[in-house]
Amino acid sequence: MNFFFTGTLLFSIGGFAAIFLKEKYKALVFLILAVTAQYFILPDIFNVLISGTRLEAPVQFTGPIGISYIRIDPLSAFFVLIISVGALLVAVYSCAYMKTYYGKKAGLSTYYLFLGILISSMLLVVTVQNAILFLIVWELMSISSFFLVSFENKKEEVRKASIYYLIAMQIGAAFLITAFGWITALSGSLDFSSFKQILSISNTSSIILFLLFFIGFSTKAGIIPMHTWLPKAHPAAPAGVSALMSGVMIKTGIYGILRIILLSGLPDIKLSYFVLFISLVTGVYGISNAIAQKDLKKLLAFSSIENIGIVGMGIGTGMLGLAYNQPVIAVFGFMGAILHVLNHFIFKTLLFFVAGIVYQKTGSRNIEHLGGLTKTLPVTSTLFLFGSIAICGLPLFNGFISEFALYLGMSKGFAMEILPFNIAAVIGISGLALIGMMAVLCFTKVFGICFLGTPRSLYKDNLSEKSFAFIAPMITLSVLIISIGIMPGIFFLLLITVVKQFISTGIKNELFSMAHLYNSISFSLLIFAFIIILFLLIRRLLLMNRSVVKFKTWGCGYQSESSRIQYTGSSYTQPILQLIAELVPRKINVVKEPVLFPKEASFESQSQDFSERFIIQPSIRILDKYLNYFSWIQSGRMQQYIIYGLLFLFFLLIWIWGTR
């Protein structure tokens, strides 16, 4: 356990050390400490994951916290693994990515300082099991990530986005503080293990508590309608931070939800349906909005919302399996959810890394301005293709493995003689298919428009993608994508202990049959890969001694080529956006002279976030109206604030005197 603490601390030390170092060495020192931290953290983690035991260490605090326990059970260990490895990859990537910010000294120092604090606090969030301590590290995580989001705070939009992010996090935290406050009052202890007795009784208060926790954690995770911060904060942050936030940090919300489920024991049936459906809606909603985006990073942020939806569907299925006492379904559901957390971490980190390189290379995140990047960034584009295929859940890559578990988990519901579950199952699998197909649409758009075809504008920057710090983390992630995709068995074995925690009955047979299933998938995928290689060889042989001529693209008789007549992202998505116009409202503005041969015309379209427009903004307006009555509290006069301070101290004294 001491090793874990040392490792956690090393990240923060790296951040603090970076303040005092020269620019060139900041990244290097942080990286060295991050690598050292792996050495301290990983052995413990693998030990827990493989043996399924629990590490526990008491930490003595004074005051209201008292003795608090830091526990690493398999669930925590799994998340620690993701955070730790993700932090290392970001540390490597930052070495190359942050070079553009050299010369702005304060900027880089804050970057590494808060990066270190963010990583340490995330590691603590998933291991601390004391209500107050948890809230402290939770807030630390939110605030340090706020400073990272506002890294380029000279830009107005970045400032706006980061403040929006901070407010959203505080609203989420408010729900958590309420929930933790209430539950500690009921149980009389701050330790998580004492919450079990409250949450496992099925009554109104435990359901409300669950919902409070769920809303609080889903704000972090990005489940609708609390997701609105994601598409704002991700584009504002530097690429490494976006990758860390999207790949790792939002998963702490999922961790919270899973932890509460673990403490609740047998879940309520209605709550399980609720989780399943809200996640399904999140998935469909996330991907439909992703399709409409023009900003590459905003699109990836919406796709994160979609993937959190898929994870949530797994959790919902698992809960239903527990509630109906069907261990098979529970195993598939939770295994699917946890595998998808791992998979999403891998491919989303990769995609954000590539998005960062594209941004530095071209100076633009607008998909409509890009194109033909395969020629200038061949390695990066190929890796982006891997990530895109994986995120669509297509076979041979890792996304398929987790989505398969979800499909099968839900389909197992058809054999049960419970009509609501049958209907939920059919809606679930067809919804997952819809999400998958829309993801195909979304990522064919991104890859096809940004990386293929001919460039739509000139790229001046001569950035080299061949830098080791760019290539190494991305290659690592791609290797993981393919190895999970083809050999899921090994990774499945690693995660067995995590799933076992959720199910109290013996599940040896279920796990055995699932392992067997993954072996047959693995085998058939190898056959598939073999056929592909066979046909590539056949094609090669057929064309060996023949003429292969390079010529311009067939323009159906039109002779003058231009990169501007290529299909754009907007035209590519126009048919689908017309079908789902209600879900993704768009402002369209067409200006055209009303004559036969108009000389000037313009077209402008802007997609809007449905829930922001119809849920968040109206509620803010109402709040604004009533909270205005209290605006006299914040007058802006210094004297008044000093009085507040004095009053607070005065009451504090009285309170201390009273408790004595």
**Range 548-577, binding another protein (CB under 8 A):** 548-556, 563, 565-567, 571-576
Per CB under 8 A, the list member of 543, 581, 583, 647 interacting with another protein is 543
Smallest separation, CB 142 to another protein (Å): 36
Q: Given the complex with another protein, which of 214 and 407 has the nearer CB atom?
A: 407
Q: How far apart are CA 60 and CA 271, in angstroms?
A: 37
Provide, rounded to whole angstroms, the least separation between the CB of residue 378 and another protein: 8
534 binding another protein? (CB under 8 A): yes
Binding mask 408-437 for another protein (x = CB under 8 A): x--xx-xx-x-x--xx-xx--xxxxxx-xx
Which residues between 512 and 531 bind another protein (CB under 8 A)? 517, 520-521, 524, 527-528, 531
Would you state the torsion angle of the CA atoms of residues 168, 172, 174, 178, taken in this order, to the nearest 10 degrees?
Answer: 170
313 within 8 A of 280, measured Cβ to Cβ: yes
C-beta of 110 vs 374, nearer to another protein:
374
Say which amino acid occupies 8: T
- Smallest separation, CB 396 to another protein (Å): 7
Q: What does the per-residue mask of binding to another protein show for 450-489, with x meaning CB under 8 A?
A: --xxx-----------------------------------
Provide the minimum distance between the beta carbon of 499 and another protein in the complex, in angstroms, as a whole number. 18
Residue 557 has, within 13 A of its CA and on its CB side, a CA count of: 0
Nearer to another protein, 264 or 293 (CB): 293
Q: Alpha-carbon distance 447 to 4, whole Å?
A: 40
Q: How far is the CB of 570 from another protein (least distance, A)?
A: 10
Among 57, 140, 269, 385, binds another protein (CB under 8 A): 385
351, 384 in Cβ contact below 8 A? yes
User: Within positions 38 to 97, which residues make up the interface with another protein, using CB under 8 A?
Assistant: none
Please name the residue that has the structure tokens 């609080």: 216
Query: Minimum CB separation from another protein for residue 583, in Å?
Result: 13
Q: Which residues are paired to 83 by β-bridges?
A: none
Give me the residues paired with residue 69 across strands.
58
| In the complex, minimum distance from the CB of residue 468 to another protein, in angstroms, rounded to a whole number | 24
Report yes or no: 90 and 112 within 8 Å, Cβ to Cβ. no
- Strand (E) or helix (H) holding 57: strand 55-60
In this chain, which of 230, 243, 354, 389 binds another protein, going by CB under 8 A? 389
Contact mark string toward another protein, 207..246, x via CB under 8 A = ----------------------------------------
578-637 residues in contact with another protein (CB under 8 A) are 579
The DSSP result for 604-646, as a single string, is EEEE--HHIIIIIHHHHHHHHHHHGGGGGG----HHHHHHHHH
> Would you give the DSSP letter of residue 23?
H
Candidates 72-80, 101-109, 369-377, 475-483: pick the segment binding another protein (CB under 8 A): 369-377
Residue found by looking up tokens 């590290």 in the block? 137
What is the end-to-end Cα distance of the chain in Å, rounded?
37
Closest CA to 112 of 222, 16, 20, 211: 16
Nearer to another protein, 179 or 408 (CB): 408
Largest interatomic CA distance in the chain: 96
Nearer to another protein by Cβ, of 136 and 440: the residue is: 440
